Chains A and B, each alone.
Chain A
Amino acid sequence: MLRQAIENLGNRTIQGVWRIGFASRFFLAVLLHSGTAFRRFGLTIREMYFTGVLSLIIILVSGLFVGMVLGLQGYETLQTYGAEESLGILVALSLVRELGPVVAALLFASRAGSAITAEIGLMKATEQLSAMEMMAVDPIARVVAPRFWAGVISMPLLAALFSAMGIFGGYLVGVQLIGVDEGAFWSQMQSAVDFEQDILNGVIKSVVFGIAITAIALFEGYDAPPTAEGVSGATTRTVVTSSLAVLALDFVLTAFMFRGIS
């Protein structure tokens, strides 16, 4: 009984370590085979269409609504202190520093990450990857690397669009609907938002999230058991793992970036 429990623990540990090692080797192989993704840039552009362009609708609409809600809620709270003019700062800083990169990454994980896993998992289940190997085409170079770089390039662009759209939404609600002074809204925002500290750090965050999400999605797809059940399980794991990874990475990055900034 006890021996059984210890054996189970040992087995799980070995499998866990093996999986981490496999994931690292996989990630390294993707980086090593990245040459193809840039030499045949058409492949990457094709994947950018599927991961980036097709995610635009959900990113833009949610950005607009998040900004509008921030405008409404922020106004309610700031009004108590007679600081309605600071609405621009509140909307811009929360979007550029946190909400833009994080919410865009969560949406990207569920919209594009799951699609990547399902596609590669199904390619593996229908033995398309093995067929490529038979034809001396490296599936990592031909299938995985372009998707990786497409995700890494798309993510910061999507996060920037999300933030810009959110600030526009906050402007619509705050200035056009409620009637906060337009000059104060923009000028206070400009004096409080710093290019390097706030905007550039937000972009760095979104690049890191892009790397994490696409790497997890590709690995889960490549590692999926070649059955219908296996692919569905891998897709679920992609969304759960990459969302948790985004939130954890966000905490670590924020602790490094914004400590000591007033």
Chain B
Amino acid sequence: MNKTVLDLWVGLFVIAGIAALLFLALKVGSMSAVNTSNSYEVVARFDNIGGLKPRAPVKSAGVVVGRVADIRFDNETYEAAVTLRLDKRYAFPKDTSAAIMTSGLLGEQYIGLEAGGDSQTLKDKDRILITQSAVVLENLIGQFIYGKAQEGAPQ
């Protein structure tokens, strides 16, 4: 085979391979997702995080504004300390509240941020003070049964 034709084919092969990688990176994955340089971290403490996992989305008004960076157990307060990595483009007031929610009935769990009214905004390494834990199905059922039993009890 002619050498230039061979070079041409290999060149085309390499270009196609790199194009496939770019397709995977840009169209299939989301490289535009929050990266470390353009983000800041805040910590929120929860009594119970339910099934929340690292890399779960952080949403405000339904829009993804960041991701859960880290989850650890605080052995002094017996709470879960969740580190949220938020996009620098979005600033939130100091009294923003965080709640663990579930998308759909069986969907993944995410953190919902509800903006407050404070004029100061959250900075890197700040703490979100108002939090709401995950809803645990067993507790809900327990409360329901307890309520029913009280209703039926003789006066």
> Do residues B13 and A157 form an inter-chain contact, with CB atoms below 8 A?
yes
A53, A190, A197, A203: the one contacting B9 at CB < 8 Å is: A53
> Do residues B30 and A191 form an inter-chain contact, with CB atoms below 8 A?
yes
Distance (whole angstroms) from the CB of A107 to the closest CB of chain B: 15
Q: Tell me whether chain B's interface is mostly helix, strand or loop, or mixed.
A: helix
* Count class of interface residues, chain B: 20 to 34
Q: Which residues of B contact A96 (CB under 8 A)?
A: 24, 28-29
Distance (whole angstroms) from the CB of B70 to the closest CB of chain A: 12
> Do residues A194 and B17 form an inter-chain contact, with CB atoms below 8 A?
no
Q: Quick one: which of A245-262 are within 8 Å of B by CB?
A: 261-262
> Do residues B20 and A164 form an inter-chain contact, with CB atoms below 8 A?
yes
Distance (whole angstroms) from the CB of B145 to the closest CB of chain A: 28
15 contacts between A and B (CB under 8 A): A42-B3, A45-B7, A46-B6, A52-B13, A53-B10, A53-B12, A157-B16, A157-B17, A157-B20, A161-B17, A165-B20, A186-B27, A195-B30, A195-B31, A199-B29
Q: How many A-B residue pairs have CB under 8 A?
A: 87
Q: Tell me whether chain A's interface is mostly helix, strand or loop, or mixed.
A: helix
> Do residues A160 and B17 form an inter-chain contact, with CB atoms below 8 A?
yes
B10, B23, B31: the one contacting A164 at CB < 8 Å is: B23
Q: Does A92 contact B (CB under 8 A)?
A: yes
Q: Which residues of B contact A262 (CB under 8 A)?
A: 53-56
> Do residues A49 and B24 form an inter-chain contact, with CB atoms below 8 A?
no
A262 to B12, CA, bound (A): 37
> Do residues A189 and B28 form an inter-chain contact, with CB atoms below 8 A?
yes
> Do residues B13 and A160 form an inter-chain contact, with CB atoms below 8 A?
no
Q: Does A158 contact B (CB under 8 A)?
A: yes
Q: Does A163 contact B (CB under 8 A)?
A: yes
